[in-house]
Amino acid sequence: MTAWKEAYIALGANLGERERTICTALRMLHQCDDIRVTRCSAVYETDPVGYEDQPAFLNMTARVVTTLEPLALLDVMLGIEHQLGRVRDIRNGPRTIDLDLLWMNGHISNNDRLILPHPRMGERLFVLVPLSDIVLEQEKDLHAFVRERLGTLEGKEGIRLWGRFESANEFVLSASSGD
């Protein structure tokens, strides 16, 4: 039997129906036989970073458990982006959906397709703030990293609480289901 591993994914969108697209991406992740969404952060509206001539983003994070190895999980995520109309023509530019694999328990990767942990997650409030919603103290290394980095970054005015997706609850396993 293949073991389930925990992973954290960042989701963002700034084109089209942002809320609906993020919910659809969560649903698509959860419907994959090898992936279960177990926790979802609040949703934050954030100012663009890098390429600034674009609409504000909605950003959130999700904790998943998966039997997939990191590159296979990345392939599923890239497939979801493609199905939801993601176009990569401007670096850090507008997008219908963006899924980033941030961290996967027990996995370090540094190749041309995937770097784990994500090399810039500690520099991005639009990742750290939602992560702080869902990373528990029991996840010692990641929890300590998120808390430490949040204390050193400025620019918190560029991130605003948007709310929670009520429909996200359908993806999250109950505490009694054990993940």
Domain ranges of the chain: 5-171
Active site residue 98: yes
d(CA 99, CA 34): 17
166 vs 87: which has the higher pLDDT: 87
Active site residue 95: yes
Out of 39, 95, 124, 149, which one is annotated catalytic?
Answer: 95
Q: Which residues contact 64 (CB under 8 A, 6 or more apart)?
A: 6, 7, 8, 9, 29, 35, 36, 37, 38
* pLDDT tens track for 11-48: 999 999 999 999 999 999 999 999 999 999 999 999 88
Quick one: DSSP state of residue 108? -
Active site residue 100: yes
In CATH, which superfamily holds the domain spanning 5-171?
7,8-Dihydro-6-hydroxymethylpterin-pyrophosphokinase HPPK (3.30.70.560)
Out of 34, 47, 75, 100, which one is annotated catalytic?
Answer: 100
* pLDDT tens track for 60-106: 999 999 999 999 999 999 999 999 988 877 777 788 999 999 999 88
Count Cβ atoms below 10 Å from residue 6 Cβ, excluding itself.
Answer: 17
Out of 36, 63, 98, 124, which one is annotated catalytic?
Answer: 98
Written as one letter, the residue type at 11 is L
Active site residue 47: no
Is 157 exposed, middle or buried (CB count within 10 Å of its CB: 0-12, 13-18, 19+)? exposed
Out of 36, 86, 124, 149, which one is annotated catalytic?
Answer: 86
Q: Which residues contact 119 (CB under 8 A, 6 or more apart)?
A: none
Q: Are the CB atoms for 164 and 43 separated by under 8 Å?
A: yes
